[in-house]
Structure 1
Amino acid sequence: MTGSVVTLRSGVVSAHVDTFAARGLPPRELQPAFLFDRPELAYPERLNCVTEFVDRHVAEGRGDRIAILAPGGLHWTYADLAAEINRIANVFTGALGLVPGNRVLLRAPNNPTMVAAYLAVIKAGGIVVATMPLLRARELGQIVDKAEIALALCDDRLTDELTKTAASSRYLTRVVTFAELKTLARDASADFAAVDTARDDVCLFGFTSGTTGEPKCTMHFHRDLLAICDAYARNVLKPTPDDRFIGSPPLAFTFGLGGLVLFPLRVGASTVLVEKASPGDLLPAIATFRPTICFTAPTAYRAMIPLLGDHDWRSLRKCVSAGEALPKATFDAWQAATGLKLMDGIGATEMLHIFISAPEEAIRPGATGKPVPGYEAKVIGADGEDLAPGTPGRLAVRGPTGCRYLDDERQRKYVVDGWNVTGDTYVCDADGYFWYQARNDDMIVSAGYNIAGPEVEAALLAHPAVAEAGVVGQPDPERGMIVKAYVVPKPDVTVTPALVVELQAFVKDEIAPYKYPRDIAFVPQLPRTETGKLQRFALRERAAREAGAGPATETAKAAE
Structure 2
Amino acid sequence: MELHPSAHADTFSRDRLPPPEQWPELLFELPELQYPARLNCGAELVDRPLEEFRADRPALRVPSGRVWSYGELREHTDQIAFVLTHDLGVVPGNRVLLRGPTTPWMVACWLAVLKAGAVVVTVLAQQRASELATICEIAQVSHALCDVRTVDDLAKAEVPGLRITAFGGDAPDDLVRRAAIKPTRYDAVDTASDDVALIAFTSGTTGRPKGCMHFHRDVLAIADTFSRHVLKPEPDDVFTGSPPLGFTFGLGGLVIFPLRVGASALLLEQSGPKQLLPALAEHRVSVLFTAPTAYRLMLDELTAPPASSAAASYDLSALRRCVSAGENLPASTWQAWYERTGLRIINGIGATELLHIFISAADDEIRPGTTGRPVPGWHACVVAADGTEVPDGEPGLLAVRGPVGCRYLADERQQVYVRDGWNLTGDTYVRDAEGYFHYVARADDMIVSAGYNIAGPEVEEALLRHPDVREAAVVGRADELRGQVVTAYVVVRDGVPRSEETVALLRDFVKGELVPYKCPREIVFLEVLPRTPTGKLQRFRLRSAGNVQ
The two structures have a TM-score, normalised by structure 2, of: 0.96
Equivalent position of 1:89 in the other structure = 81
Report how far residue 11 of structure 1 moved. 4.4
The answer to whether residue 121 in structure 2 is matched with residue 129 in structure 1 is yes
Q: How many residues align?
A: 536
Equivalent of residue 102 in structure 1, options 75, 84, 94: 94
CA deviation string 1:374-415 (max 9, x = no partner): 000000101111100011010000000110000000000000
Measure the CA separation in 1 of the matches of 2:269 and 2:206. 26
Q: State yes or no: 1:118 paired with 2:121.
A: no
Mapped pair 1:383 → 2:386: yes
Distance 1:448 1:20, change over 3 A: same
Q: Which residue of 1 aligns with 2:292?
A: 298
Partner of 1:480: 483
The 1-side partners of 2:399 and 2:360 are apart by 15
**How far apart are 1:459 and its partner, in Å?**
0.6
The 8 Å contact of residues 465 and 493 in structure 1, kept in 2 or not, is answered as: yes
Counterpart among 166, 171, 185 of residue 179 in structure 2: 185
Q: Report the equivalent of 1:550.
A: none
Residue 371 of structure 1, CA deviation: 0.4
* 50-59 vs 155-164, greater mean Cα deviation: 50-59
1:16 maps to amino acid: H
Q: 2:10 is matched with which residue?
A: 18
Q: In structure 2, what is the equivalent of residue 206 of structure 1?
A: 200
Instruction: Establish whether residue 494 from structure 1 lines up as the match of residue 497 from structure 2.
Output: yes
User: CA–CA distance in 1 between the matches of 2:127 and 2:200?
Assistant: 14
Aligned twin of 1:48: 40
Aligned partner of 2:321 in structure 1 is 318
Q: CA deviation at 1:76?
A: 0.9
- The reply to whether residue 506 of structure 1 matches residue 509 of structure 2 is yes
Matched residue type, 1:158: T
Match of 1:148 in 2: 140
Mapped contact 1:145–1:171 kept (Cα < 8 A) = no
Q: Which residue of 2 aligns with 1:558?
A: none
> Residue 423 of structure 1 aligns to a residue in which SS?
strand
Which residue of 59, 64, 84 corresponds with 2:51?
Answer: 59
Structure 1 residues 460-511: Cα deviation after superposition (integer angstroms, max 9, x where no partner): 0010000000000011121111100010001131233222122112112222
SS of 1:458's equivalent? helix
Going from structure 1 to structure 2, the CA distance change for 1:11 and 1:461 (only over 3 Å counts) comes to closer
* Residues 148, 171 of structure 1: 8 Å contact kept: no
Instruction: Tell me if structure 1 keeps the 8 A contact 2:445–2:475.
Output: yes
Please point out which of 138, 145, 150 is paired with 1:158: 150
Amino acid in the other structure paired with 1:469: A
Cα distance per residue 1:151-203 (max 9 Å; x no partner): 101111111101111x3x22423343343101110100001001100100001
Q: What residue is the counterpart of 1:72 in the other structure?
A: 64
CA contact (8 A) 1:461 1:468 kept: yes
Q: Is the 1:144–1:171 Cα contact (8 Å) retained in structure 2?
A: no
Q: Alpha-carbon deviation of 1:323?
A: 0.6
Contact (CA 8 Å) 1:68, 1:75: kept in 2 or not? yes
Q: Give the secondary structure class of the aligned counterpart of 1:255.
A: helix
SS at match of 1:483: strand
Name the CA distance, whole Å, in 2 between partners of 1:539 and 1:48: 43
Distance 1:174 1:522, change over 3 A: closer
1:269 counterpart residue number: 263
2:367 to 349, 361, 364: 364
Indicate whether 1:467 and 2:479 are aligned: no
User: Which of 166, 173, 182 is the aligned partner of 1:176?
Assistant: 166
Q: Distance in 2 between matches of 1:92 and 1:516?
A: 57
Give 1:450 deviation, angstroms: 0.4
| Counterpart selection for 1:413 from 407, 413, 416 | 416
How far residue 129 of structure 1 moved from its aligned partner, in angstroms, is 0.3
CA distance in 1, matches of 2:204, 2:295: 21
Change (3 A) 1:16 1:303: same
The CA distance in 1 between the partners of 2:197 and 2:477, in whole Å, is 43
Deviation at 1:312, TM superposition (A): 2.2
Indicate conservation of the 8 Å contact 2:146/2:164, yes or no: no
Q: Which amino acid aligns with 1:66?
A: P
* Residues 58 and 263, structure 2, Cα contact 8 Å, conserved in 1: yes
Task: Measure, in 2, the Cα distance between the counterparts of 1:61 and 1:327.
Answer: 40
**Equivalent residue for 1:241, pick from 232, 235, 238:** 235
1:22 partner amino acid = R
Matched residue type, 1:48: N
The CA distance in 1 between the partners of 2:389 and 2:54, in whole Å, is 48
Q: Distance in 2 between matches of 1:61 and 1:321?
A: 30
Separation in 2, partners of 1:247, 1:233: 15
Partner of 2:305: none
Change (3 A) 1:330 1:206: same
CA contact (8 A) 1:209 1:253 kept: no
- Amino acid of the structure 1 residue aligned with 2:163: T
Query: Is the contact between residue 357 and residue 372 of structure 1 (CA under 8 Å) also seen in structure 2?
Result: yes
Report the 3-state secondary structure (helix = DSSP H, G, I; strand = E; otherwise coil) of the residue aligned with 1:409: coil
Q: Contact 1:471/1:484 (CA < 8 Å) preserved in 2?
A: yes
Deviations 1:217-257 (A, max 9, x none): 00000000000000000111111111110100001100000
Superposed displacement of residue 538, structure 1: 0.9
CA distance in 1, matches of 2:25, 2:55: 38
Could you tell me whether the CA contact under 8 Å between 1:474 and 1:544 is conserved in 2? yes
Choose from 227, 234, 251 the match for 2:221: 227
Q: Which residue of 2 aligns with 1:426?
A: 429
RMSD: 1.2
Whichever residue aligns with residue 383 of structure 1, its letter is D
After superposing on structure 2, the runs of 4+ consecutive aligned residues of structure 1 that deviate more than 6 Å are: none
Tell me, in whole angstroms, the C-alpha distance in 1 between the residues paired with 2:544 and 2:164. 39
Q: Structure 2: how far apart are the matches of 1:216 and 1:117?
A: 23
Q: Which residue of 2 aligns with 1:553?
A: none
Identity %: 57
Q: Which runs of 5+ in 1 are unaligned?
A: 1-8, 548-560
Residue 294 of structure 1 aligns with an amino acid whose one-letter code is L
Can you list the C-alpha shifts for 1:51-85, whole angstroms capped at 9, x where unaligned? 22121111234322111100222101111111111
Partners of 2:206 and 2:440 in 1: CA distance: 23
